[in-house]
Homo-oligomer: A and B are copies of this chain.
Amino acid sequence: MVLIAILAMRPSSASAAEPFRKVLTSASQNLHVELWEMTSRKVTPKSPAAWFVRKVTLHGGKQEGVDLIVVNNGKLEITIVPTRGMGVLKAQMGDVRLGWDAPVKDVVHPQWINLQSRGGLGWLDGFNEWLCRCGLENNGGPGPDKFINNVGDEATMELTLHGKIANLPAQEVEVTVDREPPYRIRVRGRVDEKMFYGPKLELETEISTEPGANSFRIADVITNRGGQEQEFEILYHANFGQPLLEAGATFLAPVERVTPMNERAAKAMATYPEYLGPTAGFIEQVYCLRPLADSAGRTVATLQNRARDRGVSMAYSIRELPYLTLWKNTAAEAEGYVTGIEPGTNFPNHRRIERKLGRVPKLAPGASHRAAIDFEILGSREQVKRVTELIGSIQAGRKPVIDPQPEKKE
């Protein structure tokens, strides 16, 4: 009887120790799961909220073969796109959506994207995610840059808008769920941006949440697998349309300094944190921000709706992501009514400019860069107020420097 009791316990105690784990894609194991679902009932029956994780493969036109992973924690739902660099298509909690209504409606398989088309703007043929990464070799605008080629000579290449990572597929994808409280659900993926005679960068991301939470985390590690020092750039292009973005919505973050990206942005400097409704003919305005942080180096940026009763906050370390770009594109809805809140290792100028201005970091062989962002969906006036006060406490009465003119770039 004792023996039976022990045996009966063992699977339970073993499973308590090890998280649930499911590999969905693995190039090394020659594996790709088309359809799969797992629920809280099977893995964490005592979970306070009923969660599920679902893997689907999309079909039809440019969507054919695109993988989606839907993580529903019982309160919010996150849709991840392994086929597009582990970007996040959207997140939804109640009536708050993180995402936007892009002109491109499909989740476009990268096979349809030619990054070099339209003078290096081909990236725009697939751009519709709530959050997509820009990098890893470069981000920012297209145009020529120098590089060292195979024979050790300086050669020229055309960089393309926002780099390759958002149009590369994950080589390895897995889901894990802790079997003990708080039952954290994690989707992990690895995306390689590697070539011979070029960068050998690896992105490992973990997108995770807890059952019943109104928040989730994106934690990335970028590693240089090459034998030589390697430049890199990463920018998190988080894009918001309705319902958070509307006339009277506002951006708020503790800031040390704000610089307009160009003359057009400079002219609208006075109202940079405020948003218009959809405006036909609106041309993008971009602001380069240096956030303030608390003593631990953490900052918080928010978008708040007009009524200040819905919003989103992004909390992260400015030691990991020192530069914050605010992209305002309150154009007509058919053109894409959207704003981007974009923490990064740099501003999205062309790499040759960022390099000249000392904002292109390097990784030694084997070295990694880590960055994590905690997203919280704010569903009430009280939650918005709490984050607003936190930002106020970080700002601590310090007056931001408002640059009237763009940075000198060339």
Interface residues of A (CB under 8 A from B): 25-32, 56, 58-65, 102-106, 110-112, 114-119, 121, 124-125, 127-128, 147, 149-152, 155-158, 160, 168-172, 192, 194-198, 200, 225-228, 262, 264, 280-281, 283-284, 331-336, 365
18 CB contacts below 8 A, A to B, read A28-B60, A31-B59, A32-B59, A32-B64, A62-B169, A63-B171, A64-B65, A105-B192, A106-B192, A114-B114, A118-B195, A119-B155, A121-B149, A125-B198, A151-B262, A226-B334, A227-B331, A228-B280
Known: A29-B60, A111-B111. 12 other contacts (CB 8 A): A27-B59, A27-B60, A62-B192, A104-B196, A116-B116, A119-B149, A124-B195, A127-B195, A151-B264, A227-B335, A228-B281, A332-B365
Total copies of the chain: 3
A171 to B108, CA, bound (A): 11
Residues of B with C-beta under 8 A to A195: 103-104, 118, 124-125, 127
CB distance from A235 to the nearest CB of B (A): 15
Choice from B63, B125, B192, B336 contacting A30 with Cβ under 8 Å? B63
A135 to B230, CA, bound (A): 31
Q: When the two chains form their complex, are residues B64 and A169 in contact, meaning their CB atoms are under 8 A apart? A: yes
CB distance from A339 to the nearest CB of B (A): 14
Chain B CB within 10 Å — which of A156, A194, A196, A333 has the most? A196
Chain B CB within 10 Å — which of A29, A104, A106, A151 has the most? A151
Q: When the two chains form their complex, are residues B151 and A283 in contact, meaning their CB atoms are under 8 A apart? A: yes
Q: When the two chains form their complex, are residues B117 and A116 in contact, meaning their CB atoms are under 8 A apart? A: yes
Question: A27-B61, A111-B111, A197-B124 given as contacts; is B152 within 8 A of A264 (CB)?
Answer: yes
Question: A60-B27, A227-B335 given as contacts; is B118 within 8 A of A116 (CB)?
Answer: no
Residues of B with C-beta under 8 A to A124: 195-198
Residues of B with C-beta under 8 A to A331: 227
Q: When the two chains form their complex, are residues A62 and B27 in contact, meaning their CB atoms are under 8 A apart? A: yes
- Top 5 A-B residue pairs of the complex, sorted by shortest distance between their CB atoms: A227-B332, A27-B60, A61-B171, A227-B334, A32-B59
Q: When the two chains form their complex, are residues A26 and B151 in contact, meaning their CB atoms are under 8 A apart? A: no
Residues of B with C-beta under 8 A to A155: 119
Residues of B with C-beta under 8 A to A102: 196
Residues of B with C-beta under 8 A to A56: 30
Q: When the two chains form their complex, are residues A121 and B30 in contact, meaning their CB atoms are under 8 A apart? A: no
Residues of B with C-beta under 8 A to A119: 147, 149, 155-158
Choice from B59, B172, B262 contacting A60 with Cβ under 8 Å? B172
Q: When the two chains form their complex, are residues A170 and B61 in contact, meaning their CB atoms are under 8 A apart? A: yes
Q: When the two chains form their complex, are residues B227 and A60 in contact, meaning their CB atoms are under 8 A apart? A: no
Q: When the two chains form their complex, are residues A104 and B194 in contact, meaning their CB atoms are under 8 A apart? A: yes
